[in-house]
Structure 1
Amino acid sequence: MRNTNRPLSPHMQVYKPQLTSMLSITHRATGIFLSFGLVVFVSWLALIATHAEKANWLISFFSTWYGQVLLFGWIFCFFYHFSNGIRHLFWDAGKGFDMKTVYTTGYLVLAAAFGLTTITFFITR
């Protein structure tokens, strides 16, 4: 076998990110971030049941600008993961695998996530 100094697989400097791969990576990342949010939420519920003053501290934390950023992130992650999950349900049924539909539904997932996040975060205040 001849030794060519070529890489065996594409490396990051030559790989062109595609919408489908970025949406897949984002789906996994939002799932992880939602897991951390669930721990915070359950902790808050436990504090309400046991120590109301500590639960109020957590509420005041989320009233700060950095707490609001975290809430915005969790709300976006929820709606992105939810919207992309619906897209995956259609894929599980064998629908929407042609490239045009994959890209169209990908952009719809992003639009739905941003739109629902905006409505939830800014309008319901």
Structure 2
Amino acid sequence: MTSIFVRLTGISLTLGFVMVIWWLLAAATGPEYFATVNGLLTGWFAVIIWVLSIWALWYHSLGGIRHLIWDLGYGFDVKTADRMGYGVIAGSFVLTALSLICLGVL
């Protein structure tokens, strides 16, 4: 299940990427349009998407590291695979919280 979520988070990161590109294009377009887009991308719904994007980025990154370990031929026994899966899940939440603390959100 955790491997499927690695793929899903990779796909869902597209939404955050599109939001960043939209914000940058708005900044290049002009102050009025930028103010409109910036207002939309700093609203409560957008903040939820930003936080979920940060979590997805950490989850996807940690899942990628786990897959690299598997590519090296390690961690295939059930006990280790389970521990690594739980580590990816827990690590993604911890790193998201640390990121939000560093960004001043929490």
Query: Which TM bucket (shorter chain)?
Result: 0.7 to 0.9
Aligned to 1:91: 70
Task: Choose the corresponding residue for 1:113, options 92, 97, 105.
Answer: 92
Aligned to 1:34: 13
Aligned to 1:24: 3
Task: Choose the corresponding residue for 2:43, options 39, 48, 64.
Answer: 64
Query: Match for 2:96: what amino acid?
Result: T
After superposition, the CA RMSD in angstroms is: 1.5
Taking the aligned partners of 1:107 and 1:83, their CA distance within structure 2 comes to 11
Structure 1 unaligned residues grouped into runs of 5+: 1-21
Query: Match for 1:92: what amino acid?
Result: D
**CA positional deviation for 1:63:** 2.5
Matched length: 104
Query: Match for 1:31: what amino acid?
Result: G
Aligned to 2:34: 55
Percentage of pairs with the same residue:
38
Taking the aligned partners of 2:15 and 2:90, their CA distance within structure 1 comes to 24
Structure 2 unaligned residues grouped into runs of 5+: none
Taking the aligned partners of 1:87 and 1:56, their CA distance within structure 2 comes to 41
TM-score by length of 1: 0.75
TM-score by length of 2: 0.86
